[in-house]
Amino acid sequence: MLSYDHITLDPFQTSWLPAHLSAGMLRLDKIHPEISGNKWFKLKYNIAAAKANNCRGILTYGGAYSNHIAATALACKEAGLHCTGVIRGEEHHKHLNHTLQTAENNGMELVFVSREDYRSGKAANTWEMMFPHYHIVPEGGHNAAGAKGCGEILSVLPAIGFTHILCAAGTGTTLAGLINSAQPYQQVTGIPVLKGAQYLEKEVAGLLQPGGTSHWQLLYGHHGGGYAKKTPALIDFINSFYNETGIPTDIIYTGKLVMAFRELAQQGYFPENSKVLLIHTGGLQGNLSLPPGVLSF
C-alpha cells in the first residue's frame, strides 16, 4: 500500500543545540500528506485484521479535528474497506471542516452525535452494537494492533546509533510501539501534548511487550497550556526551527516536541555525546487551521 520510500532521517543543527549533542529527525511526515506519519503505522494491522476477519468495514470515532479520522478514511479507501466515523459534536455536520471534508471525500460515512451521547456511547459500547461485524478502532488508534504497527517505525531507517528517542504523545500508542522495539540501551521519552495526562503512564504500560527497552519516561511539563493551545512563543519557535533546519512542524504535536527537546537539551537532560532521534509524527495538515502567513512555510 503506502510506500516508505519518501521517509528520510535528517540530521539537524540549530543555534540552541549544545555542541556535545547530535540530533536527527525521522521524517514520517513525508509518507503522505493526509495519512500523516504515525497514523498509518497505527492503522496497518487494524486494516489487516478487518480484512482477515471479513469484517463489513472499520468503525472508529473521534473529534472533528482528529488526524486519526482523516487518516482512517484514506487508509480504508486504499484498502477497499468501508468505514464509518462517529464524530463528537452534532453541530459539525452543518459545516464540514477541512478534516471532515477530506474524510468524507475519501468515502468515510460520518455519523454525528452530541458530546453526551459520544461519551456515554463510548462507555457502553453502543456503536459496536449498532454496527455489527465492523472492526472497531478505538479513538486515536489506541489498541494493541496500533502499537504493533508503531513497533515498525524504528526499522524504516537504521536508528541503532541513537541513544535517545523522543516523540510527542496523544494516546501514547506510538510511544508504546517505540518502547517495544527500541534497543535495551536506548532511552525512549514521550512528550504529552495534553494537560494532566498522567493517566498515560498506565495506558502505555498496558501496551508494552517483552523485548524492548526498560528505559522509558513520560515528561509532563511540555504541553504549553494544553491540547491545541498555541502561544506566540510556539509559533515563533516553529518558524525559527523551520528557518534553521528546513523542517516543518505542526502546532499540536511536533512543534511542542521540538520545543521540549530544546528545553531538555538546555537543562542537561541528555548526557554528553548523546545522539537524539526525534520522531516527526506528521500532522502538518493541522496547520491549515491557521490564517495564512502566520507560519513561514
Ligand X SMILES: *Cc1c(COP(=O)(O)O)cnc(C)c1O
Chain residues in the site for ligand X (CB under 6 A): 36-39, 67-68, 140, 168-175, 250, 253-254, 281-283
Q: Nearest distance from residue 61's CB to ligand X, in Å?
A: 14
CA distance 32 to 277: 21
Distance between alpha carbon 235 and the CA centroid of its chain, in Å?
19
Number of residue whose CB is nearest ligand X = 283
- Which CB atom, from 36 or from 102, has the smaller least distance to ligand X? 36
Q: Nearest distance from residue 260's CB to ligand X, in Å?
A: 13
Q: Nearest distance from residue 110's CB to ligand X, in Å?
A: 19
Q: Is 156 exposed, middle or buried (0-12, 13-18, 19+ CB in 10 A)?
A: middle
CA distances from 234 to 38, 54, 214, 260 (A): 22, 45, 32, 11
CA distance 229 to 215: 30
CB atoms within 10 A of CB 114: 13
- Which CB atom, from 50 or from 166, has the smaller least distance to ligand X? 166
- Which CB atom, from 24 or from 151, has the smaller least distance to ligand X? 151
Ramachandran angles phi, psi of 211, nearest 5° = 110, -10
Q: Which among 110, 91, 90 has a CA at the least distance from the CA of 99?
A: 110
- Which CB atom, from 166 or from 175, has the smaller least distance to ligand X? 175
Q: Nearest distance from residue 285's CB to ligand X, in Å?
A: 9
Q: Nearest distance from residue 140's CB to ligand X, in Å?
A: 5
- Which CB atom, from 248 or from 283, has the smaller least distance to ligand X? 283
